[in-house]
Structure 1
């Protein structure tokens, strides 16, 4: 299974990548929205984990573009902003779920298993 991780924080990408690769997942990473969209088109991941708050192209904008390209694609939003409005907006744009930061490795794995 190929998983795309999108986050502007290098430490977050590294942590998630390590968790998933240790469990045998193929991981591709992007640290910006435009890079993520390019990788999404090229590599066709099975699941995407995307940070909500990123400079430039926000995670919600990335979500909207991914859903435009592939409405059935599973996108899980990662956020330290757990305001109800943000979560509702993500769901209205097609998010398959969200995980609040900080999170436990098991939360990532549980989400992946939910979609396998």
Structure 2
């Protein structure tokens, strides 16, 4: 499974990418929305894992909308560390609050069927992230 990971905090992005690779996933990384747009076209990921608050003109919500113009059924996992970020009802997605555990994120990748998932904020998992 190919994951596009969008996270502006370099240490967290590297930590998460390495953790996902440990589970056998292929991970492309981007630090901003504009970088993610380039990576998306190059790597054609199976899942987008994006922080909601990223630098640049595109936030995580906007980024996913851009990708879904080309890949309408692209599953998305939205991540945020901010408690007051308004959630949007987005089909085919999950919302996760930081901090989280990498195995919990991997479980979301493998949890079919994406199309029937209700967008909601799961309880805080705690742990590494």
Indicate the TM-score class for this superposition, using the shorter chain for normalisation.
Answer: 0.7 to 0.9
**Structure 1 residues 32 and 64 mapped into 2: Cα distance closer, same or farther (>3 Å)?**
same
Name 1:44's counterpart in structure 2.
44
Name 2:2's counterpart in structure 1.
2
* Aligned mates of 1:37, 1:29 — CA distance in 2: 11
Instruction: Answer yes or no: is 1:18 the counterpart of 2:15.
Output: no
CA apart distance, 1:115: 4.3
* Stretches of structure 1 lacking an aligned partner (at least 5 in a row): none
CA apart distance, 1:101: 0.4
Structure-to-structure mapping, 1:1-116, within 5 angstroms: 1-56=1-56, 57-83=58-84, 86-87=86-87, 89=88, 91-92=89-90, 94=91, 96-115=93-112
TM-score (norm 2): 0.79
Number of residue-to-residue matches in the alignment: 112
* Stretches of structure 2 lacking an aligned partner (at least 5 in a row): 114-129
* Aligned mates of 2:16, 2:112 — CA distance in 1: 18
TM-score (norm 1): 0.87
Structure exhibiting the larger radius of gyration computed from Cα positions: 2
Superposition CA RMSD, Å: 1.7
User: 3-state SS of the aligned residue for 1:42?
Assistant: helix
